[in-house]
Amino acid sequence: SRPPFRTVRGARVKLRALPDHEHSQSGELLVAGPMVSPGYTEANASAFEDGIWYCTKDSLEPCPGGYRFVGRADDLIKVGGVWVDMHEVEHQLAAMDDVEEATICGRSAYVVLRAIHDGRISTIRGVLPSDFSLFIVPALPRRAGTGKVDRQLLRELCECVGRTPERAKKEADLLASELQVLLSWYRPTMCLLGSASLVHGAIAWSFWSLPDSVDMVLVAPAFLVRCLFELLWRAIILSYLVLFTWYLPGWVSYRVQKFPWGLHGLAIFASVVVPGLASGLVAASPGIVCALRRKRFLSWPLVC
C-alpha cells in the first residue's frame, strides 16, 4: 500500500468531494498557501477554486498520520456504479501478450500491438468496460520534450478517421465561413495599409534629390522597397495598437462604438495616418509595453 504523507508548514489543504462520490472519504486535493505561485494563478484561473485553492486533480483519502494517494481524480471513471482507476486498466492492457503499449482517453482505449492473433482483440475487449471503445493504432503520439502520450492529438486523429461525409462537409462549411470573416477584416485592412504606404512613400520620395546621372531603371525597385518597408512597419505598429485595445476599459469601447469597426477601426486609422516610424512607435508604445510584460514582444506581431 502507498505510505501516507503529511502537509508541510504553511500549506493549507482540503479534500473536495468528487462528483457522484460524495459519501466516500476520498476526494480531490485542494492546496493553498505561499507555495502556489501568483503567476500560475493568473495564467490558470480555471484551475483554482475561489481564487486561492489550487485543484491538483489528485484523489486522496485521510488515514492515520496524514493522507494517502488514491489516484488521479480525472482518471477515475464510474462504470456500473463503481469507480474505476483508468491507470489500473492501462496496466492490465500493457501486461497482456502482444501489447506493445496502451493508453486510455476518456472512454476510449488506444492499443499498439506487436502482432495480431486470433482472439486477441476479443481478449483485449474483455479487459475493458462494456461501454468503452477500442482503437488499434500503429503508435502512440508523444509530446516533444516530456515524452508523454499526447492524448489530445491521439483523440483528434481517431476522430478524423471516423468522420462521416456529412460531418466533414459541415466542418468544411464552418471553416469556409470563418475564413470569410477573417478575410472581411484582412482585405480592407491591408488595402488601407498598402494605400497609406504608397502615399507616404511617394511623399517621402518627393523630398529626395536625385542626381541626373541616376538610372531610372534603378529608381522603381528602390521606390518599391521603400513602400514595402513602409507597409511592414505600419503592420507591426497596428499589431501593437490592437493588443493595447484589449486592455482598455469597457467605457472606452462604448465611447468609440460609432467609429467604423470600433476600437480596431481606430487602431487601423492610427496606423494609417501616422506620418513616420518614430511617431508610430510613440503611438504603439502602450501596446509594446503590454507585449513586453507578457513576453510577446517578437511573437505577437508574427501571430498577427
Per-chain mean pLDDT for the chain:
76
Residues 212 and 297 placed together within one structural domain of the fold:
yes
**Count of structural domains, the chain:** 3
Q: For residue 68, what is the domain's CATH number?
A: 2.30.38.10
Query: What pLDDT, on a 0 to 100 scale, did the predictor assign at position 272?
Result: 84
Which H, E and C letters describe the chain, residue by residue?
A: CCCCECCCCCCEEEEECCCCCCCCCCEEEEEECCCCCHHHHHHCHHHEECCCEEEEEEEEEEECCEEEEEEEHHHEEEECCEEEEHHHHHHHHHCCCCEEEEEEECCEEEEEECCCCCCHHHHHHHHCCCCCEEEECCCCCECCCCCCECHHHHHHHHHHHCCCHHHHHHHHHHHHHHHHHHHHHHHHHHHHHHHHHHHHHHHHHHCCCCCCCCCHHHHHHHHHHHHHHHHHHHHHHHHHHHHHHCCCCHHHHHHCCCCCCHHHHHHHHHHHHCCCHHHHHHHHHHHHHHHHHCCCCCHHHHHC
Q: What is the band of 23 on the pLDDT scale with cuts at 50, 70, 90?
A: low
Q: For residue 107, what is the domain's CATH number?
A: 3.30.300.30
Higher pLDDT, 100 or 258: 100
Residues 235 and 292 placed together within one structural domain of the fold:
yes
Residues 226 and 269 placed together within one structural domain of the fold:
yes
Query: What pLDDT, on a 0 to 100 scale, did the predictor assign at position 212?
Result: 60
28 inside domain:
yes
Residues 231 and 279 placed together within one structural domain of the fold:
yes
Domain that holds residue 122: 77-162
Query: What pLDDT, on a 0 to 100 scale, did the predictor assign at position 221?
Result: 78
Percent of the chain with pLDDT over 70: 76
Residues 104 and 155 placed together within one structural domain of the fold:
yes
Average pLDDT over residues 162-168: 59
pLDDT digits (tens, 9 = 90+) for 167-214: 667 767 777 776 776 677 777 788 888 888 888 777 776 666 656 655
Residue 277 has pLDDT above 80, yes or no: yes
pLDDT digits (tens, 9 = 90+) for 60-85: 778 877 787 776 666 666 666 666 76
Average pLDDT over residues 216-236: 79
Query: What pLDDT, on a 0 to 100 scale, did the predictor assign at position 186?
Result: 75
5 inside domain:
no
